[in-house]
């Protein structure tokens, strides 16, 4: 698996399917921007908790839609996107929660004096990329587990780190810059949404290449 090929491929396929993706992601993107804008409103805590949960649901829909379009083609999702909730979406978001809990668990090592933060960071950069193939696998109904993702990435540790950790960091630089500019938060949110799509596309292509390599699929 070549990192450069994956990244170039992600930009290419997003551009190739830009019209289909724009239609399918229009509703969740609008929902995402509304949720992001809500942080500037003085709303009760219970509403904030609801919006936080809704944000994960919207993220799941954006990710599943993008994974399916990249791996299965535009006809794999309704023209105007996923409008119903199924076992696939539930399974996907449960794995997001598990992914988050694993991250939190590893982060607790940061409380260890002196070396804790570095150790936690290194483990996160090693473990999370190895588990990430579970998401494209679930999105295309292959029932991939964390264990299988770990096995699939055995010979691709560095590439997965570059795709899951380094690529979104580099891609997110404009998001940070806009966030530092007065009244640039809206542009920052838009950039963040695009980062999600390109990162998901790259992860999809990594999943495709690795499974093709292992299982000899065309």
Q: How confident is the model at residue 217 (pLDDT cuts 50, 70, 90)?
A: low
Average pLDDT over residues 31-43: 78
pTM tops 0.85: yes
Q: What's the pLDDT at 138? A: 96
Which burial class, exposed, middle or buried, applies to 183 when counting CB atoms under 10 A from its CB (0-12, 13-18, 19+)? exposed
User: How far is residue 122's CA from residue 129's CA, in Å, rounded to a whole number?
Assistant: 12
User: How far is residue 154's CA from residue 163's CA, in Å, rounded to a whole number?
Assistant: 15
Asked if 31 and 50 count as a contact pair (C-beta separation under 8 A), the reply is no
pLDDT of 154-171, one tens digit each?
999 999 999 999 999 999
Q: What's the pLDDT at 201? A: 97
Q: What's the pLDDT at 215? A: 81
**Residue 40 confidence (pLDDT) above 70:** no
Alpha-carbon distances of 124 from 33, 40, 106, 108, 175, rounded to whole Å: 29, 31, 7, 11, 22
How far does Cα 198 stand from its chain's mean position? 9
- Segment (H or E) for 65: helix 45-72
Average pLDDT over residues 91-116: 92
Average pLDDT over residues 83-112: 92
Asked if 1 and 210 count as a contact pair (C-beta separation under 8 A), the reply is yes
Average pLDDT over residues 116-125: 93
Q: How confident is the model at residue 1 (pLDDT cuts 50, 70, 90)?
A: low
Kindly state the percentage of the chain with pLDDT values over 90: 64
Tell me which of 16-25, 64-73, 110-119, 201-210 is least confident.
110-119
């Amino acid at each position: 698996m070549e990192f450069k090929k994956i990244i170039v491929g992600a930009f290419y396929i997003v551009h190739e399917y830009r019209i289909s993706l724009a239609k399918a992601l229009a509703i969740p993107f609008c929902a995402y921007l509304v949720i992001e804008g809500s942080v500037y409103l003085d709303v009760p805590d219970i509403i904030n908790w609801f919006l936080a949960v809704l944000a994960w649901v919207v993220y799941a829909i954006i990710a599943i839609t993008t994974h399916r379009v990249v791996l299965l083609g535009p006809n794999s999702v309704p023209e105007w996107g996923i409008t119903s909730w199924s076992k696939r979406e539930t399974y996907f978001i449960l794995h997001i929660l598990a992914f988050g809990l694993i991250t939190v668990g590893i982060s607790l090592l940061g409380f260890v004096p002196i070396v804790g933060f570095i150790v936690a960071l290194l483990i996160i950069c090693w473990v999370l990329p190895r588990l990430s193939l579970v998401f494209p696998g679930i999105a295309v109904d292959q029932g991939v587990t964390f264990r299988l993702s770990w096995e699939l990435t055995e010979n691709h540790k560095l590439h997965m780190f570059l795709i899951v950790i380094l690529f979104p960091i580099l891609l997110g630089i404009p998001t940070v810059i806009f966030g530092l500019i007065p009244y640039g938060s809206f542009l920052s949110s838009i950039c963040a949404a695009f980062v999600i799509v390109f990162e998901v596309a790259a992860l999809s292509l990594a999943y495709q290449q690795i499974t093709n390599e292992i299982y000899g699929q065309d």
